[in-house]
Amino acid sequence: MTHRELELQLDAYVDGELEPEDARDLETHLQECADCARLHQARVTLSAAIRHEVPALRAPDVLRGRVRATLRDAAGTSGVRRVLSPGAARWLALAASLAVVALGSWRLGLSRAGDEALAGQVLASHVRSLMPGHLTDVVSSDQHTVKPWFNGKLDFSPPVYDFAGRGFPLIGGRLDYAGGRPVAALVYGRRQHLINVLLWPATQGSVGGSLTVATRQGYHLLRWTTPEYAYWVVSDLGMAELHDFAQLVQRADSAATIPAAARALP
């Protein structure tokens, strides 16, 4: 085997693409040939260096909005397909994506008209929060900084948790407005994804509702109520992971509010 062929095999081996039999042969050779062993080590190092120094990128939020808006535009006018020039679309996309948010919520699989309107508002809040400078009013991964920040700004003190240990670090909080009232918005992260949690006190006599799920424009929305709070969670994170997150919040909530829950029982 020529050196060039060996190098090809080595690369395939490092990538886990070599047939098991060939891989065993190569491993034997690596124990015998110092040159190839050195090359193998260099390739492993290189791979690690690339992954460390050359980042996979996150699409800018403005592009996210542009793509969504152009898709809506193209799908909606399929009879006379009109494709915006990218330059024009760049300007229109953001405005259009907000209009879509406002108009598009009718397709949410939620039961009541009020919920659907609310879902639209929550989604709009999420999209708006992704625009530069709109995400957080208070930036802190410390729940004991974020929670007191809401004092005097809201007529309730929202429960704030940090799930950094579970891969959902707290990023911060902000004031927002939904359902005709000021609400608390908590921002959590998951890798490159952002999760917005909007919550406000449950209406009097609420018994708590199970989880409702909806998907709009590639965003997932989860909603549930506890005896104390109405919760909305929205993110572009995958549904499975978002479910995990919702369960973390629910568990943390029930751990924190056992006395209140007990009071609610007859």
Partner 1 sequence: MEPSELERFEAIVLPHLDAAYTLARYLTRDDHDAQDIVQDAYLRALKYFGGFRGGGADGSDGRAWLLAIVRNTAYTWRRRHRADALATEFDEEQHSDAVAEHHPAAALERDGARQSLHQALDRLGPEFREVIVLRELEGLSYKEIGDVTGVPIGTVMSRLSRARRRLQAALCPNAKGA
- Binding residues for partner 1, rule: CB under 8 A, are 3, 7-8, 11-12, 15, 17, 35-36, 38-39, 42-43, 45-47, 49-51, 53-60, 62-64, 66-68, 70-72, 74-76, 78, 83, 86, 89-90, 107, 192, 215, 217-218, 236, 238
Nearest approach in angstroms of CB 121 to partner 1 is 20
Q: Least Å distance between CB 179 and partner 1?
A: 25
Looking at the Cβ atoms of 74 and 102, the one nearer to partner 1 is 74
Query: By C-beta, is 47 or 254 nearer to partner 1?
Result: 47
Least Å distance between CB 57 and partner 1? 4
* Alpha-carbon span 54 to 48, nearest angstrom: 10
Task: Provide the minimum distance between the beta carbon of 213 and partner 1 in the complex, in angstroms, as a whole number.
Answer: 13
Taking the complex as a whole, how short is the minimal distance between the CB of residue 62 and partner 1, in angstroms?
A: 8
Write out the two tokens for 249.
């919040």
Nearer to partner 1, 13 or 150 (CB): 13
Q: Phi and psi dihedrals of 162, rounded to 5?
A: -115, 120
Q: How far is the CB of 113 from partner 1 (least distance, A)?
A: 19
* Number of neighbours of residue 191 by Cβ within 10 angstroms: 9
Nearer to partner 1, 58 or 251 (CB): 58
Q: Specify the residue, 71 or 260, whose C-beta has the smaller distance to partner 1.
A: 71
Q: Which is nearer to partner 1, 4 or 144 (CB)?
A: 4
Smallest separation, CB 262 to partner 1 (Å): 41
CB 193 within 8 A of CB 219: no
- If the CB atoms of residues 83 and 256 are measured against partner 1, the closer one turns out to be 83
Taking the complex as a whole, the smallest distance from the CB of residue 191 to partner 1 amounts, in Å, to 10
Residue closer to partner 1, measured from CB, 12 or 211: 12
Name the residue with tokens 């729940």: 143
The residue among 198, 193, 191 whose CA lies nearest residue 235 is 193
